[in-house]
Amino acid sequence: MQHSIFASMRSLKIMDGCKGTQVYAINPSSATGGGIGEKLLQQLHDHIKSHTLRTKSVRNLQPPNMTTPSEVFVSDGSLLPYGLPMTDLLEPKIEPSLVSVDFVETLAGVYRRTEDRHQFDRSEVYLEQCAVFRGLADPKLFRRSLRAARQHAVNVHAKVVLSAWLRYERREDELIGSSSMDCSGRNLECPRTTLVPGYDPELVFDSCACTRARAGNGDNDNDDAMAIVVDEQCSTSEEEEEDGDMSFCVGDDEIKCNRFNIASLSRPFKIMLYGGFIESTREKINFSRNCFSVEALRAAEVFSRRKRLSHLEPKVILELLSLANRFCCEEMKNACDAHLASLVCDIDDALLLVEYGLEETAYLLVAACLQVFLRELPGSMQSLSVVKIFCSPEGRDRLALAGHASFVLYYFLSQIAMEEEMRSNTTVMLLERLVECAKDGWEKQVAFHLLGVVMLERKEYKDAQYWFQAAVDAGHVYSLVGVARAKYKRGHTYSAYKLMNSLISDHKPVGWMYQERSLYCVGKEKLMDLMSATELDPTLSFPYKFRAVSFLEENKIGPAIAEINKIIGFKVSPDCLELRAWFLIAMEDYEGALRDVRAILTLDPNYMMFYGHMHGDQLVELLQPFVQQWSQADCWIQLYDRWSSVDDIGSLAVVHQMLAKDPGKSLLCFRQSLLLLRLNCPKSAMRSLRLARNHSTSDHERLVYEGWILYDTGYREEALAKAEESISIRRSFEAYFLKAYALADSNLDSESSKYVICLLEEALRCPLDGLRKGQALNNLGSVYVDCDKLDLAADCYMNALNIKHTRAHQGLARVYHLKNLRKAAYDEMTKLIEKARSNASAYEKRSEYCDRDMAKSDLSMASQLDPLRTYPYRYRAAGESHMSGSIIPCFLLIIHDGNLVREGNCSCDCNLQAIFVFQILSVAFV
């Protein structure tokens, strides 16, 4: 309730802050008092007024002296009911992960520790590597380290947690009809394999236990049935043939036993039956007061002779487990534990059996129950019983007694909780348990830092400062940002400034240091810090957003949009698109605003606009009446035009509009996934691909989308199998294209290249539209170039250009270059630059076809449009090195076109850290 109060007060404060005079000066139509803009704004005003009144009536939190909603939002000549964004309300987020001052040094240190450890002891180091990679934009590195941690895990607990985490990380490709206990043949995620202790170096290559079980399912069923019959027959015959020399009595029932066999079960039984106790002299021992049934004692007697469990009801085995635990019968306890663990199949089983497992400290049974809970996350956390086990101190103690309380468990749980709701009490409790489990070093750093982030989000600034300082004391320098922010929130702005100033002085400057210091200064000093932050780290979005809003406050809306466009050009994110949409509404460019809102909803379907007050879908409804309405045919034309002009955000918006009219169209979902991959949004792309598969209307179509899912998650051979199965049902362009694409993603020899060419030619013979045909022709031309068939390649590129596949200019330029026609190649790339909206790569490529000065100009433009492109920096660095006569560093670590490239030769000693980083990163892109 406390946080709801704060949220309400904060939102009212934001609205109150939007009444400044700079908001109204932008409105060009306020003097006329009419027009489309005023109608739209009136609808926005009505929405926010009803929302605020509803919030007031439900929560009843507004103080008597606070301005009413009408006073906040209604003003003569108001352009936007929500007001426009203000610099005072902008604030960069603190990353909820480990952030290094020197990433290369940190990564090299982790790699060294990995190499120093034995194979059996590397899992924890790989988990540290996961924490290092967690804050990076590329999830492939994190998933690779997570797979390595799982592969090297030895104990069952770590296997259970890491397997569930792997599954959770690829949750976007979960398909309708799949079970949480499915592993799809992935041995690292197999629920059966996780319950087997020990290290298996061939784990990645072997088929999983589930696959083997399915392969021999029929035979196994018959074998199991025969085994049960034989088991019962043997048990009966042995019971009849063997006479016991003692008996356990429960009421009127008597269970004949062999004294020696029972004594062999445990030391307590041995002392009781052969020691100085009275039972050692008796033939009949009264067991009535021990609360065990006749069935349990009879099962114990059978186990004492056969050393394995016969076919028993689960309730009898549970009782036998309790008996084994009380009398320290380890062998019998382990047998009961393993049998009960094999019975856990779903959440209901797990909820029923976990209490027994915790009570009797049954390691495998608790592991099996945990496995179900973890593989059902986040849904399983809706159960109060599960929350109590994971979150409470008592629950952690019980898990610890059973051998299942660990840092990796609570690290996984806290990550999910923070994604679901960062400010919840559940998140705080899980992080508190994480702190309790953390050991010195990076574990304490990340645990303290995460708790500080959550406390800051909850506006508990004193606690936040305490935990951030604890992380700093543990060695995490980045947590000083949290200390400074907490001090700033508590009113100690100058103290925060001094802290960040000292940080910059004591360490090699990093972009986030200047970004944070900018919060605590004003005027030119603030802008200079933000400029330094951008120069050191162009991916930081806050400096662009601040500069854009600053322009807006100066009534310079054109420069504001130009500034935010700088980062949208190479890093698409919902918050930046929202800001641009906000500006475009102010300009009454409703078509552009609607485009951006639709793109936002594609990236995040639940995104809330305007400080979290309005769902994106509601804004779409408000904007639609004021833009031209397109039929589905019009949308296809618009999509074709935007696709041809390499306008991926515009294409994304058109596809979103088409899906709104036809939500079950799998082809459109697939196109959406392609666009999202181009925009480097793999998570959203996988969600669209999953929707495409789930909406597919035929088996051959479903198989193709499943194949793409497998390919995008790194399972190339399985993707090829899906493509071949689809082709066997029906020949289609997508099936052939998938097969060709997957085969081409390797070092092709001449024979393989010929086969890929045949596949693409078959694909082009199938029915298809111009968008995909252009892509296929472009790919075919690329393979022809690799095979040195330049004339055929040129024909493919020309045919692609004839159907407006603009990207084919680049392929045709490459052909001209290989034919020593540099001027023609340069002109071809110039055509691409003139046509494409996103043309950083075109400038980069054109630089290869011109003289040095023009190349430097093109590369400068490429860096300006997309600072993340590595080639321009490499080119300039090599040029400077050549001009100065210095030696190029041995290892230039770059990620280019999805591959790690090693370049440069010299006679100097190689930098050890660079070698380590090269080795560790190269694995990620194999």
Highest-pLDDT range among 222-236, 407-421, 739-753: 407-421
Highest-pLDDT range among 63-72, 257-266, 282-291, 362-371: 362-371
Contact residues for 486 (Cβ-Cβ < 8 A; gap 6+): 452, 456, 461, 462, 464, 465, 468
With CA atoms as reference, report the closest residue to 581 among 570, 567, 595, 571: 595
CA–CA gap between residue 39 and residue 28 (Å, rounded): 15
Cβ count near 728 (within 10 Å): 11
Output DSSP code: residue 895.
Answer: E
895 touches 870 (CB < 8 A): yes
Overall domain count for the chain = 1
Q: Tell me the torsion sign for CA atoms 489, 102, 679, 164.
A: negative
With CA atoms as reference, report the closest residue to 477 among 99, 106, 97: 99
| Size (the chain), residues | 926
Give the structural domain span for 301.
246-361
Highest-pLDDT range among 57-66, 163-172, 386-395: 386-395
**Cα separations (Å) of 880 from 848, 855, 871, 877, 908?**
18, 14, 14, 5, 18
364 touches 341 (CB < 8 A): yes
Task: Return the pLDDT at 186.
Answer: 77
> Quick one: average pLDDT of 510-536?
95
Position 42 pLDDT exceeds 60: no
Banded pLDDT at 172 (limits 50, 70, 90) = low
Asked if the structure places residue 250 within a domain, the reply is yes
pLDDT tens digits, one per residue of 686-708: 999 999 999 999 999 999 999 99
CA–CA gap between residue 232 and residue 234 (Å, rounded): 5
CA–CA gap between residue 830 and residue 842 (Å, rounded): 8
CA–CA gap between residue 395 and residue 741 (Å, rounded): 50
**Burial, 852: exposed, middle or buried (Cβ in 10 Å; 0-12, 13-18, 19+)?**
exposed
Least confident stretch, 113-122, 624-633, 732-741, 844-853: 113-122
Asked if the structure places residue 290 within a domain, the reply is yes
Task: Return the pLDDT at 234.
Answer: 43
Contact residues for 443 (Cβ-Cβ < 8 A; gap 6+): 407, 437
Banded pLDDT at 57 (limits 50, 70, 90) = very low
CA–CA gap between residue 417 and residue 409 (Å, rounded): 12
Banded pLDDT at 25 (limits 50, 70, 90) = very low
Structural tokens at position 612 = 């979290």
Structural tokens at position 202 = 């061939």
Task: Return the pLDDT at 408.
Answer: 97
Angle made by CA atoms 46, 50, 55, in degrees to the nearest 5: 150
Task: Return the pLDDT at 407.
Answer: 97
Asked if the structure places residue 346 within a domain, the reply is yes
Please give the helix or strand (H or E) that residue 129 lies within, else none: helix 123-133
Task: Return the pLDDT at 511.
Answer: 95
Task: Return the pLDDT at 7.
Answer: 36
pLDDT tens digits, one per residue of 95-109: 999 999 999 999 999
Pairing type for strands 608-609 and 614-615 reads antiparallel
Contact residues for 399 (Cβ-Cβ < 8 A; gap 6+): 358, 366, 389, 405, 409
Question: What is the separation of C-alpha 121 from the centre of its chain, rounded to a whole number of angstroms?
Answer: 26
Angle made by CA atoms 719, 725, 726, in degrees to the nearest 5: 90
Structural tokens at position 334 = 């382990």
The H helix count followed by the E strand count for the chain is: 49, 7
Task: Return the pLDDT at 226.
Answer: 35
Position 843 pLDDT exceeds 70: yes
| Residue % of the chain over a pLDDT of 70 | 82
Domain with residue 349: its CATH number is 3.30.710.10
Output DSSP code: residue 25.
Answer: T
CA–CA gap between residue 196 and residue 212 (Å, rounded): 15
Task: Return the pLDDT at 206.
Answer: 64
| DSSP bridge pairs for 609 | 614
What is the Cα gyration radius of the chain?
A: 33
pLDDT tens digits, one per residue of 215-234: 665 454 444 433 433 344 44
Position 68 pLDDT exceeds 80: no
608 SS3 class: strand
pLDDT tens digits, one per residue of 792-821: 999 999 999 999 999 999 999 999 999 999
Task: Return the pLDDT at 919.
Answer: 39
With CA atoms as reference, report the closest residue to 484 among 504, 505, 498, 471: 498
> Quick one: average pLDDT of 167-180?
77
> Quick one: average pLDDT of 156-178?
85
Q: What is the mean pLDDT of the chain?
A: 83
Angle made by CA atoms 589, 595, 601, in degrees to the nearest 5: 135
Cis peptide before 625 (omega within 30 of 0): no
818 touches 845 (CB < 8 A): no
Least confident stretch, 278-287, 804-813, 885-894: 885-894
CA–CA gap between residue 633 and residue 474 (Å, rounded): 61
766 touches 731 (CB < 8 A): yes
What percent of the residues of the chain are helix, what percent strand, and what percent coil, each to the nearest 5?
70, 0, 30
pLDDT tens digits, one per residue of 502-512: 999 999 999 99
Query: Left, alpha or beta for 595 (phi > 0: left; psi -120 to 50: alpha)?
Result: alpha
Asked if the structure places residue 323 within a domain, the reply is yes
918 versus 485: which is more confidently predicted?
485
The values of phi and psi at residue 480, to 5°, are -60, -30
Asked if the structure places residue 292 within a domain, the reply is yes
Query: Left, alpha or beta for 734 (phi > 0: left; psi -120 to 50: alpha)?
Result: alpha
Pairing type for strands 608-609 and 284-286 reads unpaired
Position 747 pLDDT exceeds 90: no
Question: What is the separation of C-alpha 32 from the centre of its chain, rounded to a whole number of angstroms?
Answer: 50
CA–CA gap between residue 818 and residue 829 (Å, rounded): 14
| Residue % of the chain over a pLDDT of 90 | 61
Q: Count Cα neighbours of 672 within 13 Å in the Cβ-side half-sphere.
A: 31
Helix (H), strand (E), coil (C) string for 215-272: HCHHHHHHHHHHHHHHHHHHHHHHHHHCCCCEEEEECCEEEEECHHHHHCCCHHHHHH
> Quick one: average pLDDT of 821-829?
95
Asked if the structure places residue 872 within a domain, the reply is no
CA–CA gap between residue 261 and residue 346 (Å, rounded): 37
> Quick one: average pLDDT of 531-553?
95
Task: Return the pLDDT at 212.
Answer: 67
Predicted structure pTM score: 0.83
pLDDT tens digits, one per residue of 470-484: 999 999 999 999 999
Task: Return the pLDDT at 215.
Answer: 61
Task: Return the pLDDT at 751.
Answer: 84
Pairing type for strands 246-250 and 284-286 reads parallel
447 touches 431 (CB < 8 A): yes
626 touches 591 (CB < 8 A): no
563 touches 544 (CB < 8 A): yes
| DSSP bridge pairs for 285 | 248
Task: Return the pLDDT at 217.
Answer: 58
Asked if the structure places residue 335 within a domain, the reply is yes
Task: Return the pLDDT at 748.
Answer: 72
Query: Left, alpha or beta for 735 (phi > 0: left; psi -120 to 50: alpha)?
Result: alpha
